[in-house]
Amino acid sequence: MKDIVIIKTEEQVALMKEAAMLVSKTLTEVAKVLKAGMTTMDIDQLCMQFAKDHNGILSFYNYHGYPHNICASVNDVVVHGFPNNTPLKNGDIVSIDFGVILNGWHGDHAYTFILGEVAPEVLELVKVTKESLYKGIEKAIINNRIGDIGYAIQEHTEKQHGYGVVRELVGHGLGRSLHEDPQVPNYGKRGTGLKMKENLVLAIEPMINLGTHKVYTDDDGWTVRTQDGLPSVHFEHDVCVKKNEALILSDFSIIEAAEKANINLNSSYY
Ligand code: MF3
Ligand code: CO
């Protein structure tokens, strides 16, 4: 099937920036208060309330029957973890993936937080996964191809560090729908796939495992875990393809500032 690619106008990109920023601001609220003892259900409620207070519509809730407002993926959970009432503990890593609709446009991004002390190899996995996202974003310029993004991410993570790049789940176009064409794999060949045009908006989201790339889905039909039980990291940005440099619509800098100011979180990988 041929991709149906929807290029946005400048006005629409500006609106999408607002939607992406509402997610960034929500994740910043999480970064301010997150600590061991909190549950992922607490985080779900915080995100729900903050988004509602800022006119956001919760986009994950009931998406293909998804039963929560956020995805909270702890340690060996790759993505789509259900929030629950188990307290987080020091040494956990947790990816919070959140989405809203604001003025008809989707924002969808994710950030992995570290609670207290984790093994150095996990700290490195978090650092390298975040770096790989930016290496992918560097390729999101006009006349490059979708495969260039995945190639850059795979080079940095699998080739350089021996990590596992999850194959089953991919990034995606973003707009009036949460998932638009094209799919954006975190692996692939340079010079292959769709040629990118200005104002194509993509959610780029490397899911990188410390060990094997292989994953399985729990009986709940959603929770994706690493097959070897080793941790997995997930970062996601919303980006707009431009001529010389992609425009990043979401913003990690406000999340990182809050993370640094929160003594219960570990940001020593900067
Ligand atoms: N960021 C996730 C993705 O792009 C959204 C989760 S889908 C939901 O796949 F069903 F959990 F909402
Ligand atoms: Co996404």
Q: pLDDT tens-digit profile of 82-115? A: 999 999 999 999 999 999 999 999 999 999 999 9
Convert the pLDDT of each residue in 17-66 to its tens digit. Answer: 999 999 999 999 999 999 999 999 999 999 999 999 999 999 999 999 99
**What is the C-alpha to C-alpha distance for residues 66 and 82, in angstroms, rounded to an integer?**
9
Relative orientation angle of helices 10-33 and 252-261, to the nearest 10 degrees: 10
* pLDDT tens, residue by residue, 118-140: 999 999 999 999 999 999 999 99
**Minimum-distance ligand 1 atom for the alpha carbon of 178:** 4
Parallel, antiparallel or unpaired: strands 105-114 and 164-165: unpaired
Domain ranges of the chain: 10-269
Q: Beta strand pairing status for 224-226 and 171-173?
A: unpaired
Look at the pTM and tell me if it is higher than 0.95.
Answer: yes
State which fold the 10-269 domain adopts.
Creatine Amidinohydrolase (3.90.230)
- State residue 26 phi and psi, 5-degree precision: -65, -45
How high is the pLDDT of residue 158? 98
CA nearest neighbour of 125 among 40, 226, 39, 216:
226
**Pocket residues for ligand 1 (CB within 6 Å)?**
60, 63-64, 66, 71, 80, 97, 99, 108, 172, 203, 236
